[in-house]
C-alpha cells in the first residue's frame, strides 16, 4: 500500500492520534491504523478531487469510524478541539511544507510531533520548524530509484542552539551521522551545482554566479569532512 519513505515516516509517529496533511488517498493513516500504530486520524486535502478519493479509500478499508477526512487548506482544517500527538506532512517540496506550518500552526493544539517528508529544498522547512521552537531529533535521507527524499522528525521543547546556515541546508542530524545516502545526495548536488556554474555567463549573471558559488562552497565543506 505504501512505499519505503511513507513506512519510514510511519515508524516515527508518536501517540494515538494523527493528522496527515496532504493525505494522498489516506494511505499513510490507513496503514498506521491497520498496523496498530495509531487509534485515530484526521486527513486533510485542499483539492476536492483528492479529498473525494480519500473519503472513498477510507470507506473501502472500513475505517470510517477511526479516520476522518477534511477538505481545507493545510493545518487550517484543524481546530483547538483536536487532540493530536503527531502531524505528518509528506510528499511535498520543502518551501510548501514550510508555508503550511507558518500559515496554519495557530490552529494546532499543544505541540504534537512533526514528521515531515520533503522532496526538495529543505532549508526553508528547517527554518520554519526552528521559528516554531521545534528541534530536529531525527533525519534520514532515502534514495529510491533515481530520487532522494528527506524525512525530518521534530519535537517541541528539546533544547538546542540555533541552527547554523550549514545545518539549515543539510540538517544537524545528517551532518552528525553522515550516512551514505546523505553523502551520495551531497555529492550529486555538488556535481549538479558545478555544471550550473560552468554554464552561467559571468558577465550577464554575476549575482546568479555568486549565489551558485556560495552553494558549491557549502557543499565542499561537507565533503571535505569525509577526508
DSSP characters over 16-47: SEEEEES-TTTHHHHHHHHTTS-SEEEEEESS
pLDDT digits (tens, 9 = 90+) for 54-109: 999 999 999 999 999 999 999 999 998 999 999 999 999 999 999 999 999 999 99
Q: End-to-end distance of the chain based on CA atoms, in angstroms?
A: 41
209 burial type by CB count under 10 A (0-12 exposed, 13-18 middle, 19+ buried): middle
Instruction: Please tell me the class of the 4-160 domain.
Output: alpha beta
Packing angle between helix 123-131 and helix 94-104, nearest 10 degrees?
20
Residue whose entry in the numeric block shows the C-alpha cell 505528518: 88
Rounded to whole angstroms, the Cα distance separating 194 from 138 reads 30
pLDDT digits (tens, 9 = 90+) for 182-192: 999 999 999 99
Q: What is the pLDDT of residue 131?
A: 93
Percentage of the residues of the chain whose pLDDT score is greater than 90: 84
Answer positive or negative: Cα dihedral of 178, 182, 184, 186: negative
Whether the per-residue pLDDT at 157 is higher than 90: the answer is no
**For the chain, where do the domains classified as CATH 3.40.50.150 start and end?**
4-160
Q: Per-residue confidence at 24, pLDDT binned at 50, 70, 90? A: confident
Amino acid at each position: 500500500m505504501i512505499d519505503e519513505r511513507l513506512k519510514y515516516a510511519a515508524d516515527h509517529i508518536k501517540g494515538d492520534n494523527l493528522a496527515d496533511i496532504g493525505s494522498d488517498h489516506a494511505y499513510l493513516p490507513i496503514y498506521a491504523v491497520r498496523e496498530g500504530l495509531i487509534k485515530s486520524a484526521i486527513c486533510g486535502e485542499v483539492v476536492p478531487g483528492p479529498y473525494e478519493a480519500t473519503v472513498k479509500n477510507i470507506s473501502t478499508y472500513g475505517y470510517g469510524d477511526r479516520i476522518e477526512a477534511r477538505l481545507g487548506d493545510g493545518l487550517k482544517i484543524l481546530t483547538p478541539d483536536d487532540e493530536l500527538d503527531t502531524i505528518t506532512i509528506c510528499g511535498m517540496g520543502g518551501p510548501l511544507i514550510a508555508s503550511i506550518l507558518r500559515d496554519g500552526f495557530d490552529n494546532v493544539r499543544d505541540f504534537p510531533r512533526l514528521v515531515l517528508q520533503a522532496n526538495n529544498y529543505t532549508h526553508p522547512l528547517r527554518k520554519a520548524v526552528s521559528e516554531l521552537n521545534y528541534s530536529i531529533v531525527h533525519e534520514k535521507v532515502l534514495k529510491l530509484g533515481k530520487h532522494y527524499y528527506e524525512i525530518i522528525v521534530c519535537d517541541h521543547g528539546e533544547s538546542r542552539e540555533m541552527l547554523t546556515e550549514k545545518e539549515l541546508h543539510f540538517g544537524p542530524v545528517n551532518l552528525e551521522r553522515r550516512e551514505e545516502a546523505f553523502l551520495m545526495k551531497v555529492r550529486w548536488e555538488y556535481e549538479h551545482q558545478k555544471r550550473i556554474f560552468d554554464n552561467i555567463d559571468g558577465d550577464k549573471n554575476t549575482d546568479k554566479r555568486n549565489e551558485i558559488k556560495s552553494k558549491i562552497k557549502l557543499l565542499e565543506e561537507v565533503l571535505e569532512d569525509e577526508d
